[in-house]
Amino acid sequence: MTQTSTTVETAQKLGILPQEYEAITHILGRTPNFTELCAYSGMWSEHCSYKNSIKWLKTLPKDGPHMLAKAGEENAGLVDIGDGLACCFKIESHNHPSAIEPYQGAATGVGGINRDIFTMGARPIAQLNSLRFGNIETDRTQWIIRGVVKGIGNYGNSFGIPTVGGEVFFDDSFEQNPLVNAMSVGIVKIGKTISATSHGVGNPVYIVGSATGKDGIGGAAFASGDLTEDSKKDLPAVQVGDPFQEKLLLEATLEVIESNAVVGMQDMGAAGIICSTAEMSAKGMHGMKIDLDKVPTRQADMQPYELLLSESQERMLVVVKKGEEKIIENIFEKWDLPCAQIGEVTEGGQLKFYYLGELVADLPAESLVLGGGAPQYEREYTEPAYFAESKKLNSQSISQPKSYKDVAQYLISHPNIASKQWVYNQYDSMVGTVNMNTNRPCDASIVNIKESNKAIALTVDCNSRYVQADPETGTAIAVAEAARNIVCSGGEPSAITNCLNFGNPYNPEAYWQFVGAIKGMTKACKHFQTPVTGGNVSFYNQSKIGDKTIPVFPTPTIGMLGILDQKTWQTGIGFNQAGDYIFLLGKNGTGDIHSSEYLYSFVGIKNSPAPYFNIDEETSLHELLKSLIRNSAIESAHDISDGGLITTLLESSFVKRTGFDITQTIQERKDAFLFGEAQGRVVVSVQKSHLDLFNSIIAQHTVGVLELGKVTNGEINVDGEKWGQVDDFINLYENSIASRLR
**Which are the catalytic amino acids?**
47, 94
- Asked if 463 and 478 count as a contact pair (C-beta separation under 8 A), the reply is yes
d(CA 660, CA 670): 17
d(CA 487, CA 444): 9
d(CA 656, CA 726): 10
DSSP codes joined into one string, 329-360 = HHHHHHTT--EEEEEEEESSSEEEEEETTEEE
CA-CA distances (angstroms) from residue 428 to 155, 398, 420, 458, 509? 10, 45, 14, 17, 40
Burial 626-638 (b: 16+ CB within 10 A, else e): bebbeeebbbbbb
H helix or E strand, kind and range, residue 279: helix 272-284
d(CA 132, CA 136): 11
H helix or E strand, kind and range, residue 55: helix 54-57
Name the residue among 58, 61, 59, 57 with its Cα closest to residue 525: 61
d(CA 290, CA 665): 75
Name the residue among 138, 123, 142 with its Cα closest to residue 186: 123
Say which amino acid occupies 507. Answer: N
- Asked if 227 and 176 count as a contact pair (C-beta separation under 8 A), the reply is yes
H helix or E strand, kind and range, residue 500: strand 492-501
d(CA 328, CA 331): 5
* C-alpha 705, offset from chain centre: 34
Please report how many Cα atoms fall inside a 13 Å half-sphere around the Cα of residue 643, on the Cβ side.
24
Q: Where are the beta strands (DSSP E) in 55-201?
A: 67-69, 77-82, 85-93, 123-133, 163-170, 179-189
CA-CA distances (angstroms) from residue 587 to 46, 113, 620, 694, 698? 42, 39, 11, 18, 14
- Asked if 342 and 289 count as a contact pair (C-beta separation under 8 A), the reply is no
Q: What is the 3-state secondary structure (H, E, C) of 90-118?
A: EEEECHHHHHHCHHHHHHHHHHHHHHHHH
* C-alpha 304, offset from chain centre: 34
d(CA 570, CA 220): 41
